Amino acid sequence: MADKINVLIPEETVDAKIKEIGEQISKDYAGKEVHLICILKGGVFFACELAKRITVPVSLDFMQVSSYGDATESSGIVRIKKDLDDTMENKEVIIVEDIIDSGRTLHYLIPVLKQRNPKSIRLCALLNKPDRREVEVQIDYLGFDIPDEFVIGYGLDYAQKYRNLPFIGVVEPEAAEDAEEGAEQASGEEKGDNVE
């Protein structure tokens, strides 16, 4: 079945915004090194593009967390599925996320990471859904505020497809509903990136 996809944010606009964020980070961390912590899986596309546009030295590590519940609501229970490979002690850390939704995952994760003694810790997100926020998190570097839509592309998936799209798209409503119903039926499976 071919899914109907509408472009929400075109590739050129995404690229320009990532360049802008990279320039701001480079300015803010002039003379320092930046340690990016990419939240898998969705954040990897954004993190790689962002790292290429940062002019100060960059190191990169990955973490995978999952939040369980039904397809549209986060349970607030967060589990670390893949922990960091390296220490973050005394490092200037930026957490890189594809999308901030309810805020629960990062509300849990940031205090956990602060216990590992980074020199500083900031949050960078490509997308933010303010209408879905349940707990506040401070986003230090933000690409775009978006409406409460089921979005795909740039790391965000629909049934594990479309992460590789170079733009941010919206799946037609009936296709998104099918995806949500399918996720509800797949009990115990990891939630998609549109809910964190």
Q: Is 101 a catalytic residue?
A: yes
Distances (CA, A) of 42 to 55, 89, 98, 99: 23, 25, 6, 8
Can you tell me the distance from the alpha carbon of 161 to that of 157, in angstroms, rounded to the nearest whole number? 5
Q: Which residues contact 137 (CB under 8 A, 6 or more apart)?
A: 100, 103, 106, 107, 110, 123
Can you tell me the distance from the alpha carbon of 177 to that of 2, in angstroms, rounded to the nearest whole number? 15
Take residue 174 and report the two structure tokens written for it.
């009936």
Is residue 50 within 8 A of residue 124, CB to CB? The reply is yes
Take residue 12 and report the two structure tokens written for it.
């050129």
Identify the active-site residue in 101, 140, 148, 193.
101
Active site residues: 101
